[in-house]
Amino acid sequence: MSRPAWDWRLSDLSNVQKNGRMVFSCFSCGGGSTMGYKLAGYTVLGNVEIDPQMMRIYRQNHKPKYPFLLPIQDFKALPNQELPPELFDLDILDGSPPCSVFSMAGDREDKWGGEHAFREEQAVQRLDDLFFDFLDVAEKLRPKVAIAENVRGMMVGKARGFISLVLSRFRELGYKPQLFLLNSATMGVPQKRERLFFIASREDQNLPSLQLEFNEPPILYGDIRSGEGSPINPDSKTYTRWHKRRPPDLNMGDVTEREEGKMSNFNTILLKDQKVANTLASSSVFLRTDQPRHISDMDAIRMQTFPSDYDFMDANVQYVCGMSVPPLMMKKLAEQINLQWLSEK
């Protein structure tokens, strides 16, 4: 009996037929997008990553031909003659610029324009500028297609003006951009994860508009649930609140609002076997509804459709998964781009 698509291994990639398309990944983190492209038959030549720990993990799992451990601002400033010629003949330039300033959580608009370190060990950067740094790389390398992924929050409130600036910049560079809001739950991923994709083709190719429609059946948490997970600390407020949950509650915020009159803990999610899991964020807390336990690492791996033999080394499993594009989500997208745009007629 064949395994479901979400139950796969890195070793399976050796059986995937190559399509001859070349990709380079920016802001690669643990390589969620990289694995999606590889599952779709692409060759990923290398990556740019600022985080030393993520680069160690990326090297361990993906063996990139051309890894660049440096800020994207430094990468785009490298003289063209110092870069491999292959990077100037890309089919796809891929990137997921860090998106915390567009998150729906907290006082997000207060963060715009400020300088932040995305996490410890990283350089301080203006995170809302990173999208335009990525576009500068597109201007430098001139790939056939550029793909940038970001959070749904970019479509809300004042951030919509940022979208207009990004689209205008794509057009200035000679690209025809399209914008897609995709839900991973319709793409074979056991998780409701809405993400915004900017997909742009170079104008000189005269390609038609990309058509995307995904209707995979939902995969419930109970279908992928595995292992025990760590118990909730019995001395914690979370444990007390967990015992006060009611069937309609979706998260611990529903409990605290009802029982304590507080608006907090909405980032602590209650997972039900008969429901599709919520977005796996790097900072979220996921609790099982039917037992006082957190989800297991394998649950997180399967929710994000990472391979079961992925080597997380010294990193937190949920952090790496939550910071990545689900590989099966990118696989579905990459397949359509090859089918509709890159394949020879």
The token duo for 114 is: 């400020």
Q: How far is CA 186 from CA 38, 183, 272, in A?
A: 20, 6, 19
CA dist., res. 25 & res. 87, Å (int): 11
Q: Integer distance in angstroms from the first to the last C-alpha of the chain?
A: 36
Q: Tokens 């990553």 map to which residue? A: 49
- Pick the closest to residue 51 from 21, 27, 74 (CA basis): 27
Ramachandran quadrant class, 30 (left: phi over 0; alpha: psi -120 to 50; beta: rest): alpha
| Residues belonging to the active site | 99
CB 193 within 8 A of CB 329: yes
CA dist., res. 35 & res. 312, Å (int): 14
